[in-house]
A and B are shown apart, each in its own frame.
Chain A
Amino acid sequence: MPTTMQDDDIQTKIDRVEEIRNELQGAESMNPADAKSLRDEAMELLAELEADLDVADGDVRYRE
């Protein structure tokens, strides 16, 4: 079990955001509609990412 699903999900989102950022920064010229679509996707991913990072409640439980 090399990674959890959570790992994959978070990494996928991080990678996609990086991809979008590079696309927006690197494009010579881009239609504002396409740019907005990419920006909206990135913002949505980042919001999800922020929520994903709240993995649990920080409880400490004990078992005998």
Chain B
Amino acid sequence: MGSVVGGSTLDEVEAGELPEAVDVSDLTPVEDVTRQLRGLFTGFSKYDGTYLVGEVGDLSDHSENLYFSLKATDRDSKLNCVVWGSRRDDLDIEIQPEMVVAVGGELTFFEGGGHPSLEVSEAHAVGESAYWQRVEQLRAQLDDDGLFDDERKDALPRFPETVGVVTAAGSDAEQDIVESIHARYPDVDILVHDSTVQGSGAPGELTAAIEAVDESAADVLVVARGGGSETSLRTFDDEAVVRAIAGTETPTVTAIGHEADQPLCDAVADERVKTPTAAGEAVVPEKAAYLDHVDESVERVRAAYETQVYRWLGDRREGIDRAYRSHATQWVDDQRTAVDVAHGRLAEDWIASAERDVESAYADIATEWVDANRTAVTQETERIEREYAFEQEKSGLERRTTVLYVLVAVLVALLLVALALLLGVV
């Protein structure tokens, strides 16, 4: 072992602290080892020009540099890797956890960490990861092309006469779609275009089938397959199939796999449903509900009409009754007034006539009576006149008698006065 001079970890060691059998010259500071290990790695050319394949783990993206482990997939073995910040933009892929990658770079020993480290300068996705990498690249391309834009998506027709279906004829998916459509709308026509939905020939067949149905009389197109393994659904990530769906004039619904599966076709279709069974609900309404609505509308319109007519008739009946009563009342009042007037006139005439009759009768009776009593009246008059004359005469006589008595009294009084005077004188 080499000796160590100043600035070494050995400076921390006191000779007396060591066992007797150990001499200071037997000690080697750790930095010597790591430095020599690093030297061993420097220029180590065994893996130059090769790519190390492994699964990404322990990904740390919290600093400028990217740290991860390249792990073996079936055993406990890994190599630490680093992508220096200055090189991150040079990589073709964005390294993700669990991605299987082939990386190239320089194998070194990281003294600070005490472990070998691969300074990565190249990285490529491989295997499943490569597939998904391509899918993501295609997704980005399609997005750039505007195929995911909501503005280009069509609304589905509410009452299609014909539903086109592209799927494997005789499959569960076909049966589910036909049943779900006819359960909701029994008289919709369904045009099924058979196509292989997996395997190398599937993209071509699917594309042709989609274009054929698009040119048919179908009002809406359903592209479907039942659930399957992730790899069996890859046909629906195929660029030709995706672009065929995006390019249809006919509104399109995808019904591919199960809920967790989201192939690229779903992203460009006008509508996506989770399963073929759900396709019916997406493409046709429930006819029975519309027929119920029609029946209900018939009843409501009829009821509203009858209410309106009865209300109008009621209003008119009331108006007529009111007008009749008003008229009758007015008529009665008029008649009463007329009768009063007539009665008054008749009464006055009758009274006048009666008065004339009475006066006439009275005059007649009086005349007759006068004639009949004229003599008696004359006699009575004469008697009265005589009695009146007698009374006049009697009255005159009584006045004269009274005057006489007064004169006598005055005379007597004078005599008495005279007598008194005489006596007095005497």
Contacts and interface: CB of A to CB of B under 8 A. Distances in A.
Interface of A: 1-4, 6-7, 10-11, 14, 17-18, 20-21, 24-25, 27, 29-32, 35-36, 38-39, 42-43, 46, 49-50, 52-64
A11 B304 contact: no
Given A25-B304, A39-B301, A56-B187, 12 more contacts: A1-B157, A4-B160, A21-B300, A24-B305, A32-B308, A46-B297, A46-B301, A55-B160, A56-B188, A59-B189, A62-B193, A63-B194
B158 interface: yes
A20 B160 CA distance: 27
Contact size class for B?
35 or more
A3 B41 CA distance: 70
Interface stretch (B43-51, B121-129, B311-319, B361-369): B311-319
22 contacts: A1-B249, A1-B250, A3-B157, A3-B158, A6-B159, A6-B161, A18-B297, A21-B297, A24-B304, A32-B312, A35-B309, A39-B305, A52-B159, A53-B290, A53-B294, A55-B185, A59-B190, A60-B178, A61-B192, A62-B169, A63-B213, A64-B194
Contact of B188 (A10, A18, A38, A55): A55
A50 B291 contact: yes
A7 B284 CA distance: 12
A56 B161 contact: yes
Nearest to A36: B305
B301 A7 contact: no
A4 B192 contact: no
A62 B213 CA distance: 11
Contacts of B313: 32
A30 B312 contact: yes
